[in-house]
Chain A
Amino acid sequence: MGVITVENVSRWYGNVVAVNGISMTIGPGVTGLLGPNGAGKSTLIHMMGGFLEPSAGALKIDGQDIWGHPEVYRHIGLVPERESAYDFLTGEQFILAMARLHKLPDPRGAARRAIGLVEMDYAAQRQIGTYSKGMKQRIKMASALVHDPAVLLLDEPFNGMDPRQRLQLMDLIRGMAEQGRTILFSSHILEEVERLATHIEVVVAGRHAASGDFREIRRLMTDRAHVFSLRSSDDRALAAAVIADGSATAVRVTDQGLEVEAGDFARFTRLLPRLAKESGVRLREVSPSDESLESVFSYLVEK
């Protein structure tokens, strides 16, 4: 199962409200928790992992309260962002210790499996202090996987990784999601979230700003015109047709093609090929140029 529900959760530190009345549901698959630095992502993740008590509201896994119920920790694995202080242990010793802490029936076997899962067998006998950043990240992942949890929470997992390590980790996460696990990872790097997450939750200054598929979210942003970049065999004729029709609020002619601002997304996307065909214009490129996660994100942050 592994569904985490966040019910109107707040968390404050004196006057600083890190998390402000957030409700969300995280289910199986890969969800990206997105937000600027200091938005409360880390706090939220730690509350989901049972490491922090909410000041108000409740966090539950499959209907059961997380905070104060150590039995549910068996189902949750958390990989925190901060460096852990176990430099003097070898990878294997560290994971074994974790396995024992979880009182697993076969700690050695579980440790070996977890290390294998993150492909760290070759370095398991070396001290963690000698690991590169990517390796440390992977051993932390192994420690969160050793008890085979249904839910995996990752706080900024790709921080500082080089491209190859990042691809490997992304593949690993995708694999685990395919097994039916619920995986939530936080990031402020849109590129990563775009590639990996099937579902995003956006948090801005402690508030829950949006959730869902980012392209769908973009469609919901109806107070902003959608911008399309077009290239065709006859830009000016196409521009004239688009203007005459009236569904565009602005058309700009540049040497890279046309830029069209359309107020009504549904209408324009249906209309464009028709207009092109009727005017005998060949469409070469149609790009919704602000459909990136980036533009969705900056819109939400500005609100």
Chain B
Amino acid sequence: MPIITTRDLTMRFPGVTALESLSVGVEPGVTGLVGANGAGKSTLIKILLGLQRPTSGSAEVLGHDIATGGAEIRRRVGFMPEYECLLPDVTATEFVVHLARMSGLPSSAARERAADVLRHVGLYEERYRPMGGYSTGMRQKVKLAQALVHDPSLVFLDEPTNGLDPRGRDEMLALIRKVGAEFGISVLVTSHLLGELERVCDNVVIIDGGKLLRSSAVASFTETSGMLVVEVEEGRDALGAHLAERGLTVQADGRTLVVQLDGEETYDAIRDGVVDLDLALIRMEHGRHHIEEVFQR
């Protein structure tokens, strides 16, 4: 049962077409949305929230039609914008509690859930300080907290790792996985860092130039390529020649050798080749595809 379905969704602005006949179904779980910056993805989110009427086409979110059931959708969906949207003179607690009330929670529930959610995203004493003094990482956490506080069934996270350094990025990605796996909330996350999406998402929807390029499970993008990538400290070429003599298809690539996997014996041939030539084996991995390759065609 898809949580989002679009049918021929089109959005035209004067001068630019943001979406062109987009028909896609998003399954429960963590789904990545990649593609054209700006126009396409934020427009799509606005349309799915029922805040923007598409030029043509239709869509359903959590079983509600965006044209007629907008208010109901917004009750059950959380949204984490990409841009700065926090008030500087208000504390995180106050902010999240207020927005919880705006989502319809009675005041005691709002307070309790706000406190809990802030703990889940990792904000502790900081939550009592005005947000003007927060670091980027803390801000992103508050934005995520307000998207979760009313227990939505689906959250839209727009570039959640923007502006974060590697450690902050890891934290946020772990949080997103937690939201999807432990909290049981479906996630639609946009990012232009494909490596991140490969780590966090079950499925990926790729939009290019407003059109759907591909929508499948991440696993299908990152399938093994039927090749083995071998790296040795030195003697790469000698090893390559040695393996070629034994009938394997070998190609040099950067500092590695790419060897075609012709069956189980290939593994042993490489291992023994390394031993016979007295080399040091650093790596032997199955070559995998990457989401990025879709853009290279």
Contacts and interface: CB of A to CB of B under 8 A. Distances in A.
Say whether A associates with B.
yes
Interface of A: 36-37, 130, 132-134, 160-167, 188-191, 266, 269-270, 272-274, 276-277, 282-288, 294, 297-298, 301
A245 to B, nearest CB: 15
Q: What is the size category of the interface that chain B forms with chain A?
A: 35 or more
Interface string B203-229: 000001000000000000000000000
Contacts of B275: 273-274, 277
10 A-B pairs with least C-beta separation: A269-B280, A162-B37, A36-B165, A270-B280, A286-B284, A273-B274, A191-B195, A162-B192, A273-B271, A164-B295
Contacts of A284: 267, 284
Contacts of B208: 164
Interface string B276-297: 0011111111100001100110
A271 B271 CA distance: 11
Contact of A282 (B167, B264, B285): B264
Contacts of B163: 37
B194 interface: yes
A185 B283 CA distance: 29
Nearest to A189: B193
Contacts of A273: 271-272, 274-275, 281
Nearest to A134: B37
Nearest to B208: A164
19 contacts: A37-B165, A130-B15, A133-B37, A133-B38, A161-B37, A162-B34, A162-B35, A162-B37, A163-B291, A165-B37, A167-B295, A270-B278, A273-B274, A273-B281, A274-B275, A283-B271, A297-B166, A298-B166, A298-B167
Interface in B226-262: 233
Contacts of B182: none
Contacts of B285: 285-287
B286 A285 contact: yes
A298 B270 CA distance: 33
| Chain A interface SS verdict (over half) | helix
Interface in B1-46: 15, 34-39
Contacts of A287: 283, 285
A134, A266, A286, A287 pick with most chain B CB within 10 angstroms? A286
Contacts of B283: 286-288
Contacts of A133: 37-38
B56 interface: no
A276 B283 CA distance: 14
Contacts of B267: 282-284
A88 B35 CA distance: 28
B125 interface: no
B271 A282 contact: yes
Contacts of A282: 264, 267-268, 271
A189 B15 CA distance: 33
Most buried by A among B35, B272, B282, B296: B282
A21 to B, nearest CB: 23
A37 B169 CA distance: 12
B36 A162 contact: yes
Interface in B189-204: 192-196
A287 B163 CA distance: 30
Residue with the greatest number of chain B CB neighbours at <10 A, chosen from A160, A164, A190, A270: A164
A143 to B, nearest CB: 21
Contact of B284 (A37, A270, A274, A283): A283
Nearest to B38: A132
A276 B295 contact: no
A276 B271 contact: yes
Nearest to A302: B167
A188 B165 contact: yes
B202 to A, nearest CB: 19
